[in-house]
Structure 1
Amino acid sequence: MAIQRVLEMDFATELNRTHRMRVYDAREAVSAAEIAAAMDTVVAKNIFNGSGGELTGKIAARIVTKETEDISLV
């Protein structure tokens, strides 16, 4: 059985769109304060630019957990 944790971060863009970034294999003990600080840094450094324009702010963040169980067909 495998468990995958994905951190999803939603950002506002200058064209009033939402841009989602995903960080796979997010560690278990990540705090809301650490996520907010990371998102602030992404916006402040202005290093990502997509079809929606520059990132202008934070909208939301979540941890998505997916559990996968392989089935033996023997």
Structure 2
Amino acid sequence: MASKETLELVFTNQLGREVVLRVKDPKSDLTSAQVTAAMDRIIATNIFTTTGGDLINKKDVRLVSSNVQDLWNP
């Protein structure tokens, strides 16, 4: 069984909708300050487009862990 982690960066856009950016296998030693700075930079540089407009606010950050077990592998 393999364990996988995903960092979820949650923003809101101009229409107030939640937008989640997922980063697979993030560095294990990330700090809150580094994540906050990255999110601020994403908002400031406006590098992502959404159907609800620009990303305007940080809403949440989550580290999601999952265990994956292949039941069948041909």
**TM > 0.5 fold call:** yes
Structure 2 portions without partners, runs of 5+: none
| C-alpha deviation, 1:71, in angstroms | 5.6
| C-alpha deviation, 1:31, in angstroms | 1.1
| C-alpha deviation, 1:16, in angstroms | 1.1
Q: Does structure 2 conserve the Cα–Cα contact (< 8 Å) formed by 1:5 and 1:27?
A: no
Q: Name the counterpart of 1:5.
A: 5
Taking the aligned partners of 1:70 and 1:15, their CA distance within structure 2 comes to 40
Q: Name the counterpart of 1:51.
A: 51
Taking the aligned partners of 2:60 and 2:5, their CA distance within structure 1 comes to 17
Q: Name the counterpart of 2:62.
A: 62
Count residues in correspondence. Answer: 72
Q: TM-score, normalised by structure 2?
A: 0.87
| C-alpha deviation, 1:27, in angstroms | 1.6
Which portions of structure 1, spanning 4 or more consecutive aligned residues, are displaced by more than 6 angstroms? none
Q: What is the aligned-residue identity percentage?
A: 36
More strand by share: 1
Tell me the amino acid that sits aligned with residue 13 of structure 1.
N
Taking the aligned partners of 1:69 and 1:28, their CA distance within structure 2 comes to 22
